[in-house]
Chains A and B, each alone.
Chain A
Amino acid sequence: MKSKNLILFIAMFQIFLLINLATSHSYFISQTNSLDTSSKIEEKSMVEKLMNSGINLLVGFLSIKQIGIVSAEEFWCCEETTEGEICRDIPVGDDSFCKGQVWPTDCKSTEFCKIGTCIDKKEGVCSVGTLQGCINDWDSRSIGEVDECKLGCCTLREGTNKQFIEKIKCDNKEGSFDSGISQRDCVVYTEEMGACVLENGDCKFTTEQDCEINLNGDSYPRFLCSNPVLETNCEASKETTCYNNKVYFLDTCGNLANVYDSEKVYSDSANEDIKNYWDIVQEPGCSSVVSSETCGNCKDMESICSEGNAEEGSYICKNLNCIDKHDDNKERKNTEAWCVYESYVGDSRDVVGSEYRVRYCDKGEIKTELCENYRGQICGGKINGKGEDSFSVARCMFNEGWKCYQAEMESYEYYEDGKIINEDKTEEKNNETCESISSCRLEQVDLYNYYDFYDLQWDGDNKPIDLFKFDMCVPKYPPGLEFWDSSSNAKDMCGIMNSVTCTTQWVYWGAWYCKSNCECLTQEFADEMNDVCISLGDCGGYVNVEGEYTKNFKTFDINSLEKYVKTGGKDKYVMNIEAGGAGGATLTFDADGDIKDEDKYKKYSEQIGQGYPPKFLSSTEQGYWGGDPLENLEWTEEDFPNIASTVLTITSAVIGAVGGLLISLGGIASVASAVPIVGWIVAAIAATITVILAIFSACGFGETKEIVVEFKCQPWQPPVGGKDCEKCNENPLRPCTEYKCRSLGSTCRILEEVYESENPVCINAHPYESVPPEIIFGEINKSFYSANEKSKGNGVDIRTSKGGCIQEFTPIQFTLETKDGDEEDYARCVYNWESGFEPPTIKNDYALIGEEFNEGNFYSTTHTFETRLPFVSSLNEISGNLGERQGEANIYVRCMDYAGNFNPKEYVVNFCIREGPDNTAARILGAFPMDRSFLKYGVNETSLIIYLDEPAECSWTTGSYDEMTNFTDCEDYVEGQIKPKWRCSTTLTDLTKLTNNIYIKCKDQPWISEGDYKGPWDETDRNENAQGFLYTLYATENPLEIVSISPQGEIIRGGETSEGLDLEVKTSGGMKNGVSICEYEFIEPKLGWDFFLETGSKNHKQLFNPPTGNYNISVICKDEVGNKATANSVFSLIVDDSAPIIVRAYKDERNLKLITDEDATCYYGLEECNFNLEDGVLMTLNKFSTTHIANWNPGVIYYIRCADIFGNVNSGCTKKIITSS
């Protein structure tokens, strides 16, 4: 019993021990094996690659044109906002959210917001930053220019460790810095390593220096630790590891051996070849592979060492290449990149909503990146190599299309008001300039091909005259626009060409017949003009990515002609308008002309990637990163005032011709009277003709009229509805963007919840909308007018504030609003002065026929109407006596919302108009050039255009009001034509003062003075502003000059030109004492003009990194008013990378004297050649000289070493001199 209990106890105790020993041993182990609390960083070579601020630039040369723009708007600078943003430009006076100091200038002009380099010397790091944001040392130079911040290879620990870091950090670590080694090469290779045999047979595979200095071992370079000759404890094994992106064998001690090759696995029976593979460092036995389980020689860039099922060991070469499932499973190499397009590209035919993307293979995965929205960036690609070695490269580049508008603006210097003012800028030269800009092309309108429709007239050189033709410099890849936003610049962008007009000539012979420029009445005119329109951006009649066309322009409609007859075998345009009357009419808004074939544009949405894809630019080429536009880019029609003058018109002097005929007939008659019988006959004929002509003249025959045909280019609007919205979400490799979504339909929107996310979703925001917009009256100036709204949606009566009729020709402005119940409803509205126009329906593609409100063709909730009321005499029903007559006029309004719903019953705005004198003089609304502008240097005359709020005759003077000169051309009032402004132009002369004050007076109602005026008013009722308008122009006092330009002459630099060379220019004079924008161009090779990196002030700078050679760089500087200065920088760049040579050595009295071939500093040593210069004895008195002296000691060997200014030194001795005894 006792023994039983004992056994039981023993058993239980054993179990108890068993359980507790395991845990207690674990505990003891944890306590004795303390955590690695060492803060010492073990740097591994793989990790070293990851250190620090990135990459060795692919090339040393980058020409980035980030220049400051001349901004029309003024800014102040806020040091720091309440949100913590540093250096923010704020509107003048608005410092409500500024926490720090506010400075009364823009941030770019301040010192503390200038971008430079922050340096933390203690940490040994550099960062791009402003003085404001930098709490450490700050250097005004860019980070690439600061020596301490340059990246290079830092060798540490006697070569056992290499890191690609900044020089300052390398110095902190007491390493050896070399900026000439690339990041890729900044690694410790196994070829530099070898076996380091330690005591007890241990061995480590490391560098010679590490072995001898740190490990105190015996170094055997290029030997492997598994080499039996070394008698170490290390042997071959089958283990592998990753090193330098290849798979390497390891030996049993964990040391690297050679690259893994399954055929080189060691065994006792292995052949010599295999045994050797484990003895010394060798090149990989197998060829580089992309994917392999048997070979670890991973192909650079296409393969990576990675864990996997290898035949031996645990690592394989993993294929980094990709398979593109969207392109027939095409194989793409790792890092290969290519462009993805959504439509036809180039030729200014990119469809609305299309954008550029770059797709690339990233380690087995295909990624897509959108280049900038709205085609702000384009994608250029190319294929290097051929066949299997072909490699596609592509990248996003800034779209430099803005240069085309600039070129277009500058081209108008040559032709103004029919006069060539700058013969250097001929039309041919302008075209050359445009076509020399890589991102631009010339869009031409030339109706020559349609001459069959009308009679051509020819000049002496056999060229057709009176032919509508013009060119416009447009971008090859037009920008996308926010076409849905009325506050965007879409209207201005498209409106650039709206001042192009075509003036047709008409003559009355029983009906009005078109005499010249009649081709402008054809659909071909509309076609050609529309092609220009769509070249400007998302404008005009064009298609979206789905091929859906919408028309977005207004032009003359041939079908609105009364008759279209054939006369004399040729087609003639006939219009039945009232004979007589002065001036011309504009045919634009009376009708909706169209192009011939809308479907011709559909192909552009289908020909994806076809056309003229952008050219791939390497980072050394101009245009790689693009640049910001030079001028203030707020274009309006007024900025292109001269385009209208480019159209030649002929004043048909039919009456004059008749008169001449009469004179000549009279002359014949007087001659013929000397011969009695002949004279009678001739006289009779002449008399008969005279009578006939007189009758014709009395009937108005022979009268002429000019009618101006306009083409109004409008922002593109999407098709009505939202049937295509979902198509935006179909392709995951082309995520939807707001731009594309909006282009698919008027009701397409990005879902709010995923607006700023990786995958925006496009939906039809109004799928079931069926209620038309309700029109209600908005606002009017209640001080003068009252508006009595009829029952909702029916209309409104507008009267004076007292309920009476409004005086004729009064400018009037009011707004209408569109609503859906209580909510605002976005709609497009039009009006007509007559009722009954066809409403917008699906049959007519939702065409809104009528005049547009101020909002144009944008969808809006408020619609602004602005006009002058018509004269009573033009109304249909008039009552009262002359001078007191009155009548009523209506405008009929129709609106259509996003979904295509429109009000079936027109909204009627009724005016009661009375006759009455105009009591207010004309006002100047604007001027071009602007008031207080500068004149170009040496110029004492300029054209002037002013815009008035009513037709008037104007005159100007710089002196007395008694000596006023009339404006040469002022727009007349045209019956029925209501415009917001009228234009007067002239040439101002004799502007010889520094400050030229010009006084302008205008007299309104010019028609009163015309012979055929039949109204109740007379000359005394015309209003002239008593005080002249003051308009000031300043003269440029001094010409713009380039006062200095460098470099010039011979430039000698040392070693590799790793440091950049600055092209520096200083300017003075001109409009703002030297402030200008400068461009440069290399003459050889010709690369085209480019802006300085730093410009826009008096100092201009551009950094280069040119190789050795001769250079000639042209520089041109221009200021805002066109003052120009040019200069050239001519220099030779010589690289001195050779050490000084001693050309002569001799005894001079008691001295050893040496002469070198260049300025140098020489030292001598007495023991050996390889001495440090600092340890040698200095032989040069001044720091650098060609003469070097030392004491003459006979029988001594002088080991001489010399260094030139650039640090070139011989590796050994420059010379070894033995003095005679």
Chain B
Amino acid sequence: MKKRGKNLERFFNYNFLKKNRKGQVTIFIIIAVIVVVLGVLIFMFYPQIKTTLGFEPQNPYAFIQSCIEGDIENAVGVLSVQGGRINPQHYFLYDNQKLEYLCYTNTYYQTCVVQIPFLKQHIEFEIKNEIEDKVKECFSSLKENYEKRGYEVNLKKGDFGIELAPEKIVSEFNYKLTLTKEDSQTYDEFVVVLDNNLYELASIAESIVEWEATYGDSETTTYMNYYHDLKVEKKKQTDGTTIYIVTNRDTRNKFQFASRSVAWPPGYGNA
């Protein structure tokens, strides 16, 4: 014990410290480097971690982004593999997945009827419907958050829109938030941006549907000639349905749907 105490005393002995200054500096440097590296790593791989140090609440834009983007991603993920619908009504069951018919006829030999014209707008509408409740929830939560922090919050609710854009999905919320505490700050035009190729995939899907409706089939290899990062697969089913799977090779985003056009029964005759 005494020895330990002595050692400790020795450690904090000024002379001891003075003599071992280089070692001190070395230790500080090492610790600093470790701390910085850790910080960088955390920041890189966990960007969602919001710092709670400091005395200002989280930025409202960031709050909404983090609150809603997960739901948008989920909605996109669901409808992408279901032919653009959250709840497919008229679908083909493929690999236990319901794939909406974007073009369909129940007869043989005839071209199909496009079931969903303007696919892009339809998808935007589906996403909007799906996240509507969550949007309200997020803004309510934002308001509460600030009120708890002693702010006077004025939240003017508005409409919101989803837009599929090249390599992005942009959600714009026409909400106006005014925070007052000592001074007043206004936040409007909340925008959430998600990286996703759904715009491109839906465009290809529309083109395929156009061919199916006009000619009864489509030449998928042509798309891949023009769009080097796309993979377009076509799977014929026994009842005349064709399953199309459009995949971005880099992001692995996928859009798949069903079509039934100019179906031929076995042997040409009416079955």
Task: Write the residues of chain A forming the contact surface with B, with a CB cutoff of 8 angstroms.
Answer: 3-4, 7-8, 11, 14-15, 18-20, 22-24, 26-27, 30-31, 34-39, 41, 43-44, 47-55, 58, 62, 64, 66, 68-69, 73, 81, 83-89, 107-108, 113, 115, 118, 120, 123, 125, 127-130, 133-134, 136, 142-144, 183-184, 245, 301, 304, 335, 337, 360, 362-363, 367, 369-374, 376-377, 395-396, 398-399, 401-402, 405, 479-482, 488-490, 492-493, 537-538, 619, 625, 628-629, 632-635, 737-739, 756-758
Contact = CB atoms under 8 A, between A and B. Distances in A.
Nearest to B217: A625
Given A54-B226, A482-B271, 11 more contacts: A15-B28, A22-B36, A35-B193, A36-B193, A58-B219, A62-B215, A123-B121, A371-B236, A402-B268, A479-B268, A489-B269
B214 A64 contact: yes
A405 B269 CA distance: 10
Contact of B31 (A15, A44, A405): A15
B72 to A, nearest CB: 15
B175 interface: no
B114 A130 contact: yes
B45 interface: no
B126 interface: no
Contacts of B207: 53-55
Contacts of A66: 110-111, 215-216, 262
Given A43-B166, A367-B233, A480-B267, A85 B104 contact: yes
B93 A756 contact: yes
Contacts of B269: 489, 492-493, 633-635
A440 B54 CA distance: 83
Which 5 pairs from chain A and chain B are nearest by CB? Answer: A54-B207, A628-B109, A129-B117, A489-B269, A376-B264
A335 B224 contact: yes
Contact of B28 (A18, A68, A129, A143): A18
A756 B90 CA distance: 16
A374 B264 CA distance: 9
Interface stretch (B131-139, B144-152, B177-185, B198-206): B198-206
Given A27-B53, A481-B266, A128 B12 contact: no
Interface of B: 12-14, 17, 24, 28, 31-32, 35-36, 39, 43, 51, 53-54, 56, 59, 61-62, 65, 89-90, 92-95, 101, 104, 106-111, 113-121, 163, 165-168, 170, 172, 189-191, 193, 200, 203-204, 206-210, 213-217, 219-228, 231, 233-238, 249, 262, 264-271
Contacts of B24: 11
A369 B234 contact: yes
Contacts of A84: 89-90, 115
Contacts of B216: 64, 66, 625
Nearest to B119: A127
Given A87-B113, A125-B118, A756-B95, A26 B51 contact: yes
A697 B17 CA distance: 148
Nearest to B212: A128
Nearest to B237: A756
Contacts of A537: 267
Given A31-B59, A635-B269, A756-B95, A115 B114 contact: yes
A54 B204 contact: yes
Contacts of A376: 264, 266
Most buried by A among B92, B227, B269: B269
A629 B111 CA distance: 13
Given A68-B110, A89-B107, A120 B121 contact: yes
B121 A479 contact: no
B183 to A, nearest CB: 16
A35 B90 contact: no
Given A128-B209, A129-B117, A49 B262 contact: no
B221 A337 contact: yes
Given A54-B203, A758-B235, A489 B271 contact: yes
A108 to B, nearest CB: 7
Contacts of B108: 628
Contacts of A402: 268
Most buried by A among B65, B226, B237, B268: B268
Contacts of A184: 226
30 contacts: A4-B17, A7-B14, A27-B54, A31-B59, A37-B61, A41-B166, A47-B167, A48-B166, A52-B203, A53-B210, A54-B210, A58-B219, A66-B110, A66-B215, A66-B216, A83-B90, A127-B206, A128-B209, A129-B118, A335-B221, A337-B221, A369-B220, A369-B236, A374-B264, A398-B264, A493-B268, A628-B109, A629-B268, A633-B268, A633-B269
Contacts of B28: 14-15, 18
Nearest to A336: B221
A540 to B, nearest CB: 14
A51 B166 contact: yes
Given A113-B113, A363-B249, A756-B95, A23 B51 contact: yes
A54 B268 CA distance: 32
Contacts of B213: 115, 128
A38 B115 contact: no
Contact of B266 (A15, A133, A360, A482): A482
A37 B60 CA distance: 12
Given A374-B266, A395-B219, A402-B268, A37 B191 contact: yes
B180 to A, nearest CB: 19
A479 B208 CA distance: 27
Nearest to B37: A22
A55 B226 contact: yes
B270 A50 contact: no
Nearest to A480: B266
B228 to A, nearest CB: 5
